[in-house]
Chain A
Amino acid sequence: MLLTLLAATTVAVVRVRSLFAVAILSGIYSFLMASVLLVLDAVDVAMTEASVGAGIAMVLMLGTLHLTKTEEARPTHSPLLPLAVAATTAGVLIWGVTGLPPFGAAATPVHLAGPDYLARSLAETGIPNVVTSVLASYRGFDTLGEITVIFTAGIAVLLLLKRSPRRPGQDG
C-alpha cells in the first residue's frame, strides 16, 4: 500500500508541470518514505526523513521557487539521450539489486555485527538506545565526517548565494 502510494507520487512528480505542486509532492513522498521506514522499525531514520525531507527540504525548494519561475520550462533538447541514460542507470541498479542477499537473511554483516553492539552498548556506554551509542561513540568518526559534509555544503551554499552583489540596473 505504502509502496503503491510512493509509486503514484513519483509518477505525479514526473507528470505535473507546476513546480509548486512538485515541491509539495516531494514533501508527500518524504512523509510516505518515513512511514515505510517506520514499518521497517527504523524509527531514528524515519524521524530524520520526516524532518529533513518533508520539512526543511520543502522550505528550501519553496524558497528557491521564490527566486525563480514556478512553471517548468519546455525541454529544448530531444529527450532521447536523457532517457537512454536514465534507462541504463535503472538497468544497472536493478542488476545490482539482484546481487543483494535476500531480505532478512541471517548471514549478512548487519546481522553478524549487530548482536555484538547490542550486547556491549549498555555495559560500555550506559546508553540504552543502541542507535545513539553506535552513531556517536562506536562510529563517531563517521558522524564527524557527516557533520563536516553538512558544514561544507552550508559554506558552499553561502558562498554561492549570499554575497553576490548585483550590479545596478541588473535585474535577475
Chain B
Amino acid sequence: MRLDVILRVVTKMILPAMLLFAVYVQFHADYGPGGGFQAGVIAAAGFILYALIYGLGALMRLVPVALVEALVPMGVLIFAGVGIAGILAGGDFLDYSHLLHDPVHAQEWGIFLVEVGVFVTVASTMLAIFYAFAARGRR
C-alpha cells in the first residue's frame, strides 16, 4: 500500500482539507453543529489516515507517542482547570460567568476553553489507542 502512487497523492490532497475541517468544526461550534468531540475525532482520523498511507514511523516522527500520552490527561486538566478558575474567580465549579467582567463574554471564553480541553483529550486518546494497536501488530 505504501508504494501506491494514487493513494499517496490523494491523501496529500485531502489531508489539509480534513485537518482544516476539524479546526472549522471546533471553532464554528458556537454557530453550527460541532464541538470538541467531533473535531477531535476528525483530527485523529486525519492523523490515522496519514499513518495508514505513509507508515506508522512517519506519524510517530510527526507526533511522538510521549506527546500523545501527555495530552490525554491534559485535556481533562484544562477542563477541570477552567472549572477551578471559576471557583477562584468567585463563582461555583464550572461557572464561567465570573471569569471576566462581562458575564456573557466570560461564558463565551469558558465554553471555548472547555471545548479545547475536550478536543485535546478526544483526539489524543484516539491516537494513543491507535498507536497501541498498530505498534503491537508491527512487532
Contacts and interface: CB of A to CB of B under 8 A. Distances in A.
Nearest to B30: A127
B48 A59 contact: yes
Q: How large is the interface on B (under 10, 10 to 19, 20 to 34, 35 or more residues)?
A: 35 or more
Contact of B122 (A127, A150, A158): A150
Contacts, number: 143
Contacts of B73: 151
Given A47-B38, A140-B114, A126 B76 contact: no
A128 B48 CA distance: 33
Interface of A is mostly: helix
A153 interface: yes
A130 to B, nearest CB: 11
Contacts of B72: 151, 154-155
Interface stretch (A13-21, A49-57, A73-81): A49-57
B41 A66 contact: no
Interface string B69-108: 1001101100110010000000001101000000111011
Q: How large is the interface on A (under 10, 10 to 19, 20 to 34, 35 or more residues)?
A: 35 or more
B37 A60 contact: no
Nearest to A136: B111
B63 interface: no
B83 to A, nearest CB: 7
B41 A52 contact: yes
Interface in A34-67: 43-44, 46-48, 51-52, 55-56, 59-60, 63-64, 66-67
12 contacts: A63-B133, A64-B133, A66-B133, A123-B104, A124-B107, A126-B105, A126-B108, A137-B111, A140-B94, A144-B80, A151-B76, A164-B136
Interface of B: 25, 29-35, 37-38, 41-42, 44-45, 48, 69, 72-73, 75-76, 79-80, 83, 93-94, 96, 103-105, 107-108, 110-111, 114-115, 117-118, 121-122, 124-126, 128-137, 139
Interface of A: 43-44, 46-48, 51-52, 55-56, 59-60, 63-64, 66-67, 123-129, 131-133, 135-137, 140-141, 143-144, 147-148, 150-151, 153-155, 157-158, 161-162, 164, 166
